[in-house]
Amino acid sequence: MLFDRNFVVGYVLPAAIFLGISLVLLHGFGLLPHVFVLTEADIPLFILIAGIASWIVGLCLFIVNVDIVGLMEGYGRFNPARFFGRVQTQRYRELNSAISELDKKYKECISNGEKFPDELQPKRSELMLKRAMQFPDQERWLLPTAFGNAIRAFEVYPRVMYGLESVQGWARLLAVIPKEYREFVDTAKARTDFWVNLWFLSLLTIVEYMGASFYTDEFKIPLVLGGAFVSSFIASRKARKAAYQWGEWKKASVDVFLAEFRTKLGFLPPATIEQEQDIWTAFSQAIIYRRPDSMKAVQK
């Protein structure tokens, strides 16, 4: 895990970029020791040290991954992103309102024996797809950031479709997902982790620049500061798009392997989708609240 391609892409690569920029920053402010001068003979050793340092920083990013992702999602009482929560709520309400208007128009056409305008059908489909990919199913689950809601959108999918709670259910579903398929999911997550870590390290670069500027009482190499701001903006957008792809793989995992998971647990096969939802709702209650009696009605 700590030496595979996904770890390198998701953690070591952004760490190497950060360390490289930090060296440029410290050199520009004259904070590197004057004896730090590379000769041709020193280059192999420098590359080795840089590689080890990148791996160590990447390991640190891996350890705090949940916290960094949570920060970008908007979790935390003192998270500045909470101030933008109303923007996400407004976007969600406007999207629902637009879909409702089209639904109303569709019903009016049907009741009057008229054809629903061809140009409105693609628009409705586009809006519904946007809602499914970018937002959870209910307003109460909204998070303050677009990235957070993109994550929430696929986290609620197992519950909405099948009655299975995602966080607790996913850890158990992994037991029946083949290794080859899990690698696809992990690769999609690594791409997301890369952009999330690049976003976080871009913010850290801004803090580093401000600290160096304050310490030296100078304003140098503004390109680094501007680049860090641009990088954080681009990384946040890329992280959201990568999360969409990661979410598709996780949703597909539920669709494809849930039946095998049900058989593995010894549950009765459902005759209807309602029975399927009852099974996984009962199972979710059992594993979340430690209530084995919830599963008695669905076991063989």
**pLDDT on residue 116:** 80
**Locate tokens 């998070």: which residue?**
143
Q: Is 245 helix (H, G, I), strand (E, B) or coil?
A: helix
In this structure, which amino acid lies at residue 83? F
Interval 139-175: pLDDT, tens: 999 999 999 999 999 999 999 999 999 889 999 999 9
How far is Cα 178 from Cα 263, in angstroms, rounded to an integer? 16
**pLDDT on residue 295:** 75
Interval 193-249: pLDDT, tens: 999 999 999 999 999 999 999 988 888 889 999 999 999 999 999 999 999 999 999
How far is Cα 13 from Cα 17, in angstroms, rounded to an integer? 6
